[in-house]
Structure 1
Amino acid sequence: MKPSKLYTNQPDRFAAVEFTPELNVVLAEIRLPENQDRDTHNLGKTTLGRLLDFGFLAGRDPRFFLYRHEDRFADFVFFLEIELHDGTYVTVRRGVADQSRIAFKKHAARHQDFSDLAEREWDHVSVPFERARELLDSYLDWRALKPWRFRKGLGYFLRSQEDFGDVFQLRRFANSHADWKPFLAHILGFDAALIGEHYAKEAALTDLEAKSVTIRQELGGGDIEDAGKIDGILLLKTQEVEKKQALLDGFDFRSEDKSETKMLVDKVDERIAVLNARRYSLMANRKKIVASLQDDQILFNPDEAAELFEEAGVLFGGQIKRDFQQLIDFNKAITEERQGYLVEERADIDAELKAVNAELNTAGKRRAEMLAFLSETDTFAKYRRFTSELVTLRADIQSLQRQRDFVHRLQQLRTDIRSLQEDKIHLQSAIEADVETKSASPESLFSAIRLYFNEIVEEVIDSKALLNVSVNRLGHLEFKAELLDEAGNATSADRGHSYRKLLCVAFDLALIRAHLGEAFPRFAYHDGVLESLDDRKKELLISVLRRYTEMGIQSIATLIDSDLPKRLADQPFFETEEIVLLLHDEGENGRLFKMASW
């Protein structure tokens, strides 16, 4: 349940670090004045956490310093001693050069040194990496994490600097929310099975919708999704194939001749007659319209009439002339309107004539082909024609069958999609009910974690903090950790780095405390735990860590001496036994690895 000792096969280059079950401080002292203002010092304060992760069988990462500088660390073998739930210990041996071959040794006493232990003395030797993880999982037996393995939530108990950016989403959780939110919900006391199933349904729904789009694209994207219509056309074409095949098999085309003759008389000739009659009617109407357009002219000219009457000596008054002019204007208006209608009607007739002529041409060609077929005396020519038509029909049938299969698949997909959508709705309702119930119940695990979380934050900075879980409109859980003002409203203070780090520490400790009655990790490693806090808050936070160690929770805290609260020389901030590793910048002996920095 707790790291007990970390050592190597080369003690002269890496001194053993023996942890206590209580507060463990890794203190880096900056003694050289020229290093006081530097941000990084490469002493190994942060590296210790990475080595613990390595001992807990972290996967191979080429960016990890042991592999990035493998030429310098190839001969190192690391040993991590871990205290188990029953008070016994297991030591994990893992080398850098052969990091995928792990060894295990179970023992009763703490702080052992197995660096020179013979191979035959180990309980398991050269265990392949994945099998080694399974074996360590069984040794640790963190049953409260099941069905997940021990490494899933290890980042909450080994917080590196990169993991203080978000209280809930660790650096190792950089992939999809479906990978880590069900686990987090589980350790907070919610029904993770519902959440995991909801994500699974969502993924399956996305997959089916993508397949549906693909099938519709293969169908051409048109309105051809009526399976009944396709089946009907397929039935007719299949029947036609059978008839033509029977004719070909019997080499007898008399029935086809009869059919062609009947079609020629009943259908084609009849249609040609109808079309000719229609064309005659249209052309006659068009001729009348053209004539009307030419005849609609007013030939009476008032000016010419006035001149004529004047020559004849007949008085033609101005009022009469004006009346005639108004009559002419009125007639012109009527004529122009009538001409507009006539022009529109002529355009409609021209369009219909074009369509009729096109259909007459097609029908004429069809009639000519039928007459040629009927007058054909060469039986083999008819055979070839039937064979060609049969090939075309069969190709049409294959295309229709393929289209029908696509449509049936599409219909089945739509049925499955509707079913998944309904399942998602039911799951979302169940998730919302579960979150509401657990949030409202003072006896729930989540409520306990909430109270412990607020207690820690309030003790350190005298401000209340709220841990909250809600369900968004998509049915996904949203996790929030917020500082509250006196009115109970969320403030922006949690966005600062120092307070966000405090929220992370408070969450980790509250999580462990709430699971003290279960098989659950009982240690918390926090890198740079006091950074950016003022002195009073640092004192209070260390008091919280000490109080939590009295509950059985091991705390490993790393810090630089400049982060310590100001005190008199005879009033050290930490007890001597609390400092398990002292680093400094006065030469290689002050580093975690007693060698030149890399």
Structure 2
Amino acid sequence: MKLSQVYSNKKFKRVKFNEEFNLIIGKVTKPKDKEIDSHNLGKTTLIYVIDFLLLRGFDNAFFLSKYKIKFFEYSFFLEILLNDGKYLTIRRSIDYPTKIDFKIHDQKFQDFTKEDNWDHQEVPIDKAKDILNNYLEFDVLPEVNYRKTVSYFLRTQDDYLDVFQLNKYKSSKDIDWKPLLLDLLGFNGELLKSKYELETQINLLNAEIKILETRSSMNEEKLDKIKGFIEVKEEEKKSLQIELDKFNFYTNDRRIDRDLVDSVEADISKLNSELYALEFEEDKINSALNDRMEFSLSEIEKLFIEIKTQFPEDLKKNYENLVEFNKQLSEERSKHLKERLTSLKTQKEEIKKELIDLNNQRSDLLSILQSTDTFEKYKKCQNEIVGIDNQIMTLQQQLSSVGEIGNISSKVTELNNQISKLKDALKENVLKEQNDIYSNIRKTFNLILKEIINLQAIPSISFNKTGNIEFHADIQEEKNNDITAMGRGTTYRKLLCVAFDLSILITYSKNSFFKFVYHDGVLEGLDDRKKIKFIECVKRICQENGLQYVLTSIEHDLPRNSEGNTMQFSGKEIALILSDAGDDGRLFEQSF
């Protein structure tokens, strides 16, 4: 895969790349103007735009996101040359950065700013990465998404701090990049990845053990002691239970408890209701006995005289018979009422007697139940048993925690054994097994540095105390192979990064893989003679291996010959010239 062109639908300099050496120049036209910064022309920004079009994230720190208002309605297009000879254009807008368009075509340098017919349109970003990965068809680390390795071939100034650890991995864990790099060097990175994963599991398990130990204030060494405490508490509970069972709360063979008292009170309530009914009936009978109907014949005769009417004899006789009948009826009724009254009094006396007995019984029961001596002892005994139960429960929880700690510790031991085996396998893989890929990378790396600065430098791998991988790339004295401090300087460290990236591409040049690299500002600080050697070396590598190289440089950093003349480049080699003469000279033709 190579870069073909980058362009936009709005203000942005179209950049067309050739398939070999490409130079992006930043011109300084006003060197005495201190208000102008020649480093803000856009030569580094172009890397970010390309990375954006290769579907990097769109976080708030990214410059296109930070200045989103300025880039309203902007769409960017990246045309790449695939390894099968076809071209692929990727479209990504600022307004909808998570929706991606793709189009395959046969001819290069197309303009799709007004294109509506896309092979894949508005594809969600994650799916778009998979689609692009399939288009690339890399056979180098085919199971790894291209996003994992592309940053080695888009180096900004921040990526020269370490040959192997890119800036984007500075805040990441080793597992995020070291196994990948080990794979890229031809080793089995899965061994290292598995080791890191097991170490993570162990760290989590050890943290869990610490939590359990803190929570329970126990550890495995106290296991037997806890068991002993539980046995002692069980015996205490057993003794108290025996004492509790000795309490005799029975009267008339019935246990005295709240239910029994409630039963007696229910009987009392029932009898009181019956007594009330009897007394009510008694009052009614007494009222009936006192309420007699009186008939006076003389009063009737007097009434007839007053109205001057004769009182008939036959009526008088009938009335006398009625009075007699009523008298007999009243006497009979009174007899029955008196008999019922006598019966009621008898029933009342019996109920009152029974109520007296029940109330006495209730009083006795409550007295026993509420006895300070007996009941308090009973309650105390019960409370002690509850307290011991709680203690036993706590001890059992501690025992469970210790048991759990033991189980987790066993898992940690098992995982450590697995790590030990992985360490051995990793050392065998890195130090003893034949690895032609790694061997070719190292040889190529050294040849590049030898050609440019006439010093030898070889990448190497070591194991630290924890058995993890450390990567090195040092410049060595040719006579005694001692490591020098030159590789730690900014200028030569950049060359080490360049040599590493190129050695990877050269080694995999026959494979389907990246076939381009973009290096920002490598020439800064180099001697002119070494700059010339560097450029000549890079051009040769591109020609011999079918690779594409993109170099950015400020104009005054370009090499000069012994006569002071700037090295000349063909129009084909110069992909872009940026200038500080005005906004028109900048990448976006505007300042922001």
TM-score w.r.t. length of structure 2: 0.74
| Distance in 2 separating the partners of 1:224 and 1:518 | 56
Deviations 1:406-456 (A, max 9, x none): 111111111111112222222112211211125xx4x52111100000000
| Distance in 1 separating the partners of 2:565 and 2:394 | 93
Q: Which residue of 1 aligns with 2:217?
A: 220
* 2:217 partner amino acid: G
Contact 1:535 1:565 in 2 (8 A): yes
Contact 1:238 1:397 in 2 (8 A): yes
Deviations 1:167-223 (A, max 9, x none): 1111101122121111111101111011001111111111111111121111225x7
Q: Which residue of 1 aligns with 2:396?
A: 401
Instruction: State how 1:439-478 maps to structure 2 within 5 Å.
Output: 441=434, 444-478=436-470
Instruction: State how 1:18-29 maps to structure 2 within 5 Å.
Output: 18-29=16-27
Q: Which residue of 2 aligns with 1:153?
A: 149
| Distance in 1 separating the partners of 2:454 and 2:586 | 37
* 2:424 partner amino acid: S
Q: 1:181 aligns with which of 157, 178, 181?
A: 178
| Distance in 2 separating the partners of 1:464 and 1:167 | 16
Q: Which deviates more from structure 2 when the two are superposed, residues 199-208 or residues 566-575? A: 566-575
Q: Which residue of 1 aligns with 2:226?
A: 230
Q: 2:473 aligns with which of 470, 473, 481?
A: 481
Q: Secondary structure at the match of 2:177?
A: helix
Q: 1:578: Cα distance to partner?
A: 0.7
Contact 2:100 2:123 in 1 (8 A): yes
Q: 1:570: Cα distance to partner?
A: 9.2
Change (3 A) 1:563 1:197: same
Deviations 1:42-100 (A, max 9, x none): 22111111111111111113232222222211221001112212111221111112111
Contact 2:8 2:113 in 1 (8 A): yes
| Distance in 2 separating the partners of 1:37 and 1:447 | 50
* 2:584 partner amino acid: N
Contact 1:565 1:573 in 2 (8 A): no
Residue 7 in 1 paired to residue 7 in 2?
Answer: yes
| Distance in 1 separating the partners of 2:34 and 2:496 | 28
| Distance in 1 separating the partners of 2:19 and 2:31 | 35
| Distance in 1 separating the partners of 2:428 and 2:34 | 55
Q: Which residue of 2 aligns with 1:336?
A: none
Contact 2:87 2:104 in 1 (8 A): yes
Q: Which residue of 1 aligns with 2:356?
A: none
Instruction: State how 1:195-594 maps to structure 2 within 5 Å.
Output: 195-220=192-217, 225-235=221-231, 237-238=233-234, 241=237, 244-245=240-241, 248=244, 379-438=374-433, 441=434, 444-486=436-478, 487-550=480-543, 551-567=545-561, 573-594=568-589
| Distance in 2 separating the partners of 1:165 and 1:377 | 85
Change (3 A) 1:388 1:33: closer
| Distance in 2 separating the partners of 1:393 and 1:239 | 10
Q: 1:138: Cα distance to partner?
A: 2.1
Q: Secondary structure at the match of 1:400?
A: helix
Q: Secondary structure at the match of 2:148?
A: coil
Q: Which residue of 2 aligns with 1:113?
A: 111
Q: Secondary structure at the match of 2:175?
A: helix
Q: Secondary structure at the match of 2:486?
A: helix
Instruction: State how 1:36-115 maps to structure 2 within 5 Å.
Output: 40-115=38-113
Deviations 1:480-502 (A, max 9, x none): 11111122111111122111111
| Distance in 1 separating the partners of 2:573 and 2:424 | 50
Contact 1:182 1:196 in 2 (8 A): yes
Deviations 1:85-118 (A, max 9, x none): 2111221111112111111112222221111011
Deviations 1:104-143 (A, max 9, x none): 112222221111011xx11222222222222222222334
Contact 1:26 1:582 in 2 (8 A): yes
- Identical aligned residues as a percent: 38
| Distance in 1 separating the partners of 2:198 and 2:372 | 68
Q: 1:247: Cα distance to partner?
A: 6.6
Deviations 1:322-341 (A, max 9, x none): xxxxxxxxxxxxxxxxxxxx
Deviations 1:318-372 (A, max 9, x none): xxxxxxxxxxxxxxxxxxxxxxxxxxxxxxxxxxxxxxxxxxxxxxxxxxxxxxx
Contact 1:145 1:520 in 2 (8 A): no
| Distance in 1 separating the partners of 2:35 and 2:379 | 97
Q: 1:392: Cα distance to partner?
A: 1.3
Q: Secondary structure at the match of 1:145?
A: coil
| Distance in 2 separating the partners of 1:538 and 1:571 | 11
Q: 1:192 aligns with which of 189, 200, 209?
A: 189
* 1:72 partner amino acid: K
Contact 1:435 1:470 in 2 (8 A): no
Q: 1:249: Cα distance to partner?
A: 6.6
Change (3 A) 1:406 1:225: farther
Q: Which residue of 2 aligns with 1:171?
A: 167
TM-score w.r.t. length of structure 1: 0.74
* 1:516 partner amino acid: S
Contact 2:559 2:566 in 1 (8 A): no
Deviations 1:284-315 (A, max 9, x none): xxxxxxxxxxxxxxxxxxxxxxxxxxxxxxxx
Change (3 A) 1:534 1:219: same
| Distance in 1 separating the partners of 2:58 and 2:156 | 17
Give unmatched runs, 5+ long, in structure 2.
250-370
| Distance in 1 separating the partners of 2:128 and 2:54 | 10
Change (3 A) 1:91 1:224: closer
Change (3 A) 1:133 1:117: same
Q: 1:236: Cα distance to partner?
A: 5.3
* 1:509 partner amino acid: L
| Distance in 1 separating the partners of 2:489 and 2:96 | 42
Change (3 A) 1:202 1:570: closer
Q: Secondary structure at the match of 2:5?
A: strand
